[in-house]
Structure 1
Amino acid sequence: MTNRNRRDFLKKAGVATAATVGAATVGAPYVHAQSRAPIRWRMQTYAGPALAAHVIKPSIDAFNKAANGEMEIELFYADQLVPTGELFRAMQRGTIDAVQSDDDSIAAPVDVSVFGGYFPFASRYSLDVPVLFNHYGLREIWEEAYAEIDGVTWLGAGAWDPCNFVTRDPIRSIEDLRGKRVFTFPTAGRFLSRFGVVPVTLPWEDIEVAMQTRELDGIAWAGITEAYTVGWADVANYYLTNNISGAWAGSYFANSDRWNEVPEHLQTLFKLCMDNSHYYRQHWYWWGEAHYRTTGGKLELTSIPEEEWQTLEDAALEFWDEIAEQSDRNARVVQILKDYRQTMQQAGPPYRYS
Structure 2
Amino acid sequence: MDRRKFLRTASAASAGSLALAAPAIAQTTDKIQWRCTSSFPQSLDTIYGGATDLATYVREATDGAFDIQVFAAGEIVPGLQAADAVQNGTVEMCHTASYYYVGKSPTWALGGVIPFGLDQRGMNAWLYYGDGMNLLNTFYNKQGLQYLPAGNTGTQMGGWFRNEINSLADMNGLKMRIAGLAGRIMERIGVVPQQIAGGDIYPSLERGTIDAAEWIGPYDDEKLGFYQVAPYYYYPGWWEGNLTLCSFINKDAWDGLPPAYQSLLQTAARAANVEMMAEYDYKNPTALRSLAGKGAQLRAFPQDVLDASYEAGMALYDELASDPEWKTIYDSMMAFEVDHFLWTQVAESTYKNFMMDKQRNNLLPGQKTGGGN
Matched, 1:189 2:186: no
SS in 2 for 1:104: helix
State the one-letter code of the partner of 2:320. Answer: I
1:134 is aligned, of 128, 131, 137, to 128
Q: Which residue identity lines up with residue 96 of structure 1 in the other structure?
A: V
- Contact in 2 for aligned 1:91/1:152 (Cα 8 Å): yes
Taking the aligned partners of 2:276 and 2:121, their CA distance within structure 1 comes to 11
Within a 5 Å distance, the mapping from 1:1-354 to structure 2 comes to 38-52=31-45, 53-106=48-101, 109=104, 112-123=107-118, 125-149=119-143, 151-156=144-149, 158-163=151-156, 164-244=158-238, 245-296=240-291, 297-298=293-294, 299-306=296-303, 309-325=306-322, 327-347=323-343, 348-350=345-347
Q: Partner letter of residue 300 of structure 2?
A: S
- Whole-angstrom CA distance in 1 between matches of 2:191 and 2:283: 27
Q: Which residue of 1 aligns with 2:6?
A: none
Structure 2, unmatched stretches of 5+, are: 1-25, 354-373
SS at match of 1:130: helix
Q: Deviations over 1:310-336 (max 9, x none)?
A: 3322332222212222x2232233323
Return the alpha-carbon distance in structure 2 between the equivalents of residues 308 and 83 of structure 1.
Answer: 33
Contact 2:153–2:276 (Cα < 8 Å) also in 1: yes
Q: Which residue of 1 aligns with 2:8?
A: none
The 1-side partners of 2:103 and 2:269 are apart by 20
- Tell me the CA shift for residue 130 of structure 1: 0.8
C-alpha spacing 1:305/1:93, structure 2 compared with 1 (3 Å)? closer
Query: What's the CA shift string for 1:170-219, capped at 9, x where partnerless?
Result: 23333222222211213211111111211113343222221221112221
Alpha-carbon distance, 1:258 to partner: 2.2
For residues 104 and 301 of structure 2, what CA distance do their matches in structure 1 show?
36
- What letter matches 1:50 in structure 2? S
- 1:204–1:307 CA distance, 2 compared to 1 (3 A): closer
Q: Is the 8 A contact 1:45 1:75 kept in 2?
A: yes
Structure 1 regions of 5+ residues with no counterpart? 1-31
Question: d(CA) in 1 for partners of 2:163 and 2:146?
Answer: 42
User: What letter corresponds to residue 126 of structure 1 in structure 2?
Assistant: Q
The DSSP-based 3-state class of the residue aligned with 2:98 is coil
**Cα distance change of structure 1 residues 236 and 117 upon mapping to structure 2, 3 Å threshold:** farther
Output the TM-score relative to the length of structure 2: 0.76
- Tell me the amino acid that sits aligned with residue 329 of structure 1: E
Deviation at 1:66, TM superposition (A): 3.0
SS at match of 1:182: strand
CA distance in 2, matches of 1:109, 1:118: 16
| 8 A contact 2:176–2:194 mirrored in 1 | yes
Output the amino acid matched with 2:314: L
Q: Which residue of 2 aligns with 1:21?
A: none
Distance 2:319 2:176 in 1: 23
Quote the offset at 1:155 in angstroms: 3.0
Kept after mapping to 2: 8 A contact 1:43/1:73: yes
- Does the residue aligned with 1:50 lie in a helix, a strand or coil? coil
Given the superposition, is the C-alpha separation of residues 308 and 97 from structure 1 closer, same or farther in structure 2, using an over 3 Å criterion?
closer
Change over 3 Å in CA distance of 1:175–1:75 after alignment to 2 = same
2:230 alignment partner, SS class: coil
- Counterpart of 1:39 in structure 2: which amino acid? I
Evaluate the alpha carbon distance shift between residue 69 and residue 130 of structure 1 in structure 2; reply closer, same or farther with a 3 A threshold. Answer: same
Q: Which moved more, 1:268-277 or 1:158-167?
A: 158-167
Question: Cα deviation per residue 1:6-54 (whole Å; 9 max; x = unaligned)?
Answer: xxxxxxxxxxxxxxxxxxxxxxxxxx99987x42111111111122453
Task: Point out the structure with max Rg over C-alpha.
Answer: 1
CA-atom RMSD in angstroms: 2.9
Contact in 2 for aligned 1:224/1:239 (Cα 8 Å): no
List per-residue Cα deviations over 1:138-184 (Å, max 9, x = no partner): 212112112323x3222346532334222222233332222222112
